[in-house]
Chain A
Amino acid sequence: MLKIDKLNVIVKDKKILNDFSIDIKDGEIHAIMGPNGTGKSTLSKVIMGNKNYKIESGKIVFNGDVINDLETDERARRGIFLSMQNPISIEGVQNSEFIKTAINARRNTPIGLYEFIKEITAKASELDLKEDMIHRAINVGASGGERKKNEVLQISLLKPSFIILDELDSGLDVDSLKKVCESLNKYLEENPKTSVLIITHYPRILEYIKPRYVHMMVNGKIVKTGNLTLALEIEKSGYSDTFNISENKVYE
């Protein structure tokens, strides 16, 4: 599904990703954990084609094609979805109109209004998302939890094949996290070839969406790979002890 090979990325003359490599196969769930500022969110934005990040060398291959030079929207239409850490609010743009436009960007013929309303209402109800969120301007006046639910609502309607969850658990209370993860697990059951990359600080989300691999990322590269046990070890001992390096080196 997604293979990243020796990716080096710079932002404002600072190297953020350093020979970063990962191979995520169809249907696999991977998690990346790492200290603040180690490049986890940068990775998600680079996969999505954000122009603020410059790829110095290396390749991002999605379903066999190198996508380094593809525009963000084309990556999205090929099936990559980035659920953002802090989904932004957009004054004046109605959520339903935006989602409908995004659905139609993937279709040859526009979705019928009745079909769209039926589907969006059902999915919002599954997530316990208030119906007025659908008709409101995107995330305007929404709580952190509502914003994350809105991201998951979009996943269920846009049907991506590769999902990046960038700190999905931040801003969500325990009940909301459970609800959102149930919805995602249902989606993954219905679409078993979908791959997921979870970026997180805490193993709590990994109890609900169980990864096959957990990677520890330090200074822009993966330094250790394991399974859920690694995540629990990181939580117990911290990044320094888990990787057996000094704290200064981790945060440098």
Chain B
Amino acid sequence: MARSTAESRNASAYWRANVRLLLRLLCVWFLVSYGFGILLVDVLNQVRIPGTGFPLGFWFAQQGSIYVFVALIFVYVWRMNRLDAEFGVAEE
């Protein structure tokens, strides 16, 4: 199972692109849950979502973070499928 140099260079470029994407998405993940939902909750609770009774920090902790999580995974899938095709490592 020896790989050619070009192929392994391609594989490591793919891996780096993958890790970059992961880190970006994980920043968002951290921000909406630990950031908005826990660390900054008291500050954000000073603000209310207009037209509702939700304090903003409370809303992020009990609703908003979950919506963002779902979106993050679908964004990840979409970007990874594109990366797979770009680097020619997609499955048949």
Verify that A and B bind, or say they do not.
no
